[in-house]
Structure 1
Amino acid sequence: MHRPPPGPIARLRSLRYVELHTPAFTEAAGFYEEVWGLESVESDTGARWLRGTGDEHHVLHLTERERVGLGRLAFAVGTPAEVDEAARRLEAHGITPVFGPGPLEQAGGGYGLRFTDPEQRLIEISAHVDAVTPGGRDAAVPVGVTHAVLNTTDIDAAVSFYCDVLGLRVSDWSEHQMAFLRCNADHHCVAFNQAEWTSLNHVAYE
């Protein structure tokens, strides 16, 4: 009997935060705090978590590494039960989590899981992360992260994975060079740019 393909693993609510790797950790942390206006909420050796003026515990996780790059993309879901269900659906897609589902022993806590996409980007899905009291809206300080644009060597495969597995929906194509994907009412939370290599193109903040 032919089984229908498994559906998306979860209903993603938003892009919660991004992790960036940098060899110039002190300089990068200084830029994001002093110029970009983010506020440090927790620090450790070679790591810093920074918040905007919204209610997310942090919107940027900086980690000291030898090379610049994307550490992970973290998406929000509603409940721990949704995380557990996402793990079961990942298995149906033939994907084994690299962590979880379980408690996240990191700044902000929460309950989540992590897995990699076909181009080896680390994806985190989490619920019940500590919230913080929103700050006043300052036009010069970001509220939170709105989207990440990712360079990909195969835009069709990338779009298929993020739609079929993560449940994102296509908002727009720019010819066959870029694709914009959404998880809520915003135009996009992730976009893909066809390129000769896999990398982070940019991160945008509200």
Structure 2
Amino acid sequence: MSHLNVHGITHLRHVDLAVPDYATQRTFYRDTWGLTEVGTDGDLSFLAAEGSPEQYIVRLRKADEKRLDLIAFGATDPAAVDALAAKLGAEGVQLVGQPGTLQTAGGGYGFRFFDLDGRTIEISSGVETRKHRAVEEGEAIPVRISHAVMNSNDPTATKDWYEKYLGFKLSDTLWSAHMGEMMHFMRCNDWHHSLAIARGPHTSVHHVSFEMRGLDEYMRGTGRVMRAGIKKIWGPGRHLAGNNTFTYFLDPSGNTMEYTTELERLETDQWHPTLYDIADPQTQDQWGTADPMSEIIAKDSFNTPDRGLFVAPPV
């Protein structure tokens, strides 16, 4: 069965964040979160995961205002990039620029555009891979970036946009009797989700998730971050949709970051999305080790309204 995205989108590459507390954030992602700073360029820091062939999975930019700079996805080849850019342009999606050679580490060929809510999205192919290694037993550092979850005040409209324009497929939905559809999990390959859209009061980053080697490494990493005095929002636990483990923390600038492991890979394309009721404790946490989801917990991941909507980042 083919899991290939109809437009040749292959995977999540990196999430780029602008932060006022740049020095603090660099230290957090290197020393506490366990990423490797592979380079800096002026006010930019590029952070890789030891287990991932991606040049970097997080980019930090020193800025006066906190914002999401962009979310980058890979594509199969330059032809797929060109075809998608032409399609989006013809359908009235606002492009930031035409496809061309990327100026970032590893080069590549790609373009940027605004999604329905005004986030900058980049699609690229041919980015050089980085020399990486197998993360060892007991080594509690991220293996790769797993997924990005974004807040939207109309998550169903945003989900529909990603289906229509970018060919993402719906894996599952979380639902509440009071609030309706709360989160849509979307895939572009056989991972249960690379992107999810959550219901929030405004457009912002909900969380970015990092895959650990296994359960032991996930727990060791959770403990290390807790011991470092970083605010733990929720976890450890295991979700029902995606079957993945979770521990959520607030990074120093108020973005939520997650350690996860064992995210489900879909065996078949004939996948039927399930509507899970978030009132069921099993939906939130199959283990029962995490505190029940509450408005207090949820509020932490609402984040502050994104200041960068429909404004392309400077780099």
Normalising TM by the smaller chain, what interval? over 0.9
CA distance in 2, matches of 1:100, 1:43: 26
Question: Number of aligned pairs?
Answer: 199
Q: Share of identical aligned residues, percent? A: 36
The reply on whether 1:16 has 2:21 as its aligned counterpart is: no
Secondary structure (helix, strand or coil) at the match of 1:56 reads: coil
Runs of 4+ that moved beyond 6 A: none
Mapping of 1:49-60 within 5 angstroms?
49-53=46-50, 54-60=52-58
- Aligned counterpart, 1:198: 203
Matches within 5 A, 1:147-186: 147-175=147-175, 176-186=181-191
Q: If the length of structure 1 is used for normalisation, what is the TM-score?
A: 0.92
Report the structure, 1 or 2, having the larger strand content. 1
Supply the distance in 1 between the matched residues of 2:42 and 2:114 (Cα, whole angstroms): 25
3-state SS in 1 of match to 2:166: coil
Q: Distance in 2 between matches of 1:73 and 1:24?
A: 20
Cα deviation digits, residues 154-190 of structure 1 (max 9, x gap): 1121001111111110000101111110111111011
Q: For 1:32, what is the secondary structure of its paired residue?
A: helix
Q: CA deviation at 1:36?
A: 1.3
Q: Distance in 1 between matches of 2:46 and 2:18?
A: 12
Larger Rg: 2
**Aligned counterparts, 1:52-91, within 5 A:** 52-53=49-50, 54-91=52-89
- State the Cα distance separating 1:9 from its structure 2 match: 7.5
Letter in structure 2 aligned against 1:201: H
Structure 2 runs not aligned, ≥5 long: 176-180, 212-315
Kept in 1, the 8 Å contact 2:156–2:184? The answer is no
Deviations 1:118-163 (A, max 9, x none): 2110000000112111223143111221111111011121001111
1:52 maps to a residue whose letter is A
Kept in 1, the 8 Å contact 2:186–2:196? The answer is: yes
Check conservation: 1:9, 1:165, Cα contact below 8 A. no
Mapped partners of 1:99, 1:63: distance in 2: 20
Q: SS in structure 2 opposite 1:86?
A: helix
Q: Which runs of no fewer than 5 residues in structure 1 stay unpaired?
A: 1-7
Q: Which residue of 2 aligns with 1:93?
A: 91
RMSD: 1.3
